[in-house]
Structure 1
């Protein structure tokens, strides 16, 4: 359903350090982006998947980058330890905590996640679920407040 997410940033060097730090525990790798005449971009993706992609870039229209109110990108982590590591990396690289790592049983009994913002204020979520059966069957796939 999702092709890609593009997050606007104000400082590409700072953003590169931040996103490279959280990509490592999430098993995401940096993909080369061909120059197309627009601003520099960094792209991340999961091994073996063509999509979804995460792009980090200064805005194409050259206006200031702003974080969307109510907008959040969520990443699947391969383990609870990866959630913890991504959250710690985010805070160590200029991010701010929006919810520490832990179980979120109001979403599902095995839902383990953390919330943080990047240095530009973009809200990010990292989640690990041992069992994704509820999502595969369509139950609980779109819950209010998720």
Structure 2
């Protein structure tokens, strides 16, 4: 459904290091970069949606969205745990430790903020029992 998602980065090198660390356990890698412009693109091999970090083109400071969140799909709970730990080690802040979130459906998730203040979710959806709502 989505072509791409972009978050602004005031500290491009710091954002790149953060997302390199957080996305690696999810199999998502940086595949394009324009360092002079402060842009980098990430993708999981074989998938089309792209995640971007970018210095704003208009030269104004990047700001985080109030109520905005980017969620990344993980293959399993171990990847959720690893991505969250990598994010904390790379300067992120915990917004909710890894664990089941039954109030939101049958999935396991972790929440954090990147060094710029953007909110992220790392999630794996557990299989629903037969007949249960998805």
TM-score above 0.5: yes
TM-score of the pair, normalised by structure 1: 0.84
Name the residue aligned to 1:143: none
More strand by share: 2
For residues 33 and 61 of structure 2, the distance between their equivalents in structure 1, rounded to whole angstroms, comes to: 22
Report the Cα offset of residue 106 of structure 1.
1.1
Distance 1:52 1:132, change over 3 A: farther
**Could you list the per-position Cα deviations for residues 63-114 of structure 1 after superposition, in whole angstroms to 9, with x for gaps in the alignment?**
01110000000000011000000000111111001111000011223x0000
RMSD between aligned residues: 2.0
Preserved CA contact (<8 Å) 2:34 2:40: no
Give the equivalent residue in structure 1 for 2:18.
Answer: 18
| C-alpha contact (below 8 Å) 1:39/1:59 kept by paired residues | no
Give the number of aligned pairs: 132
Q: Runs of 5+ in structure 2 lacking a partner?
A: none
Which stretches of structure 1, 4 residues or longer, exceed 6 Å deviation after superposition? none
2:124 counterpart residue number: 128
Query: Which runs of no fewer than 5 residues in structure 1 stay unpaired?
Result: 141-146
In the alignment, does 2:86 pair up with 1:89?
yes
Q: Distance in 2 between matches of 1:5 and 1:133?
A: 31
Residue 44 of structure 1 aligns with which residue? 42
SS across alignment from 1:68: coil
Which residue, out of 65, 70, 73, partners 1:73?
70
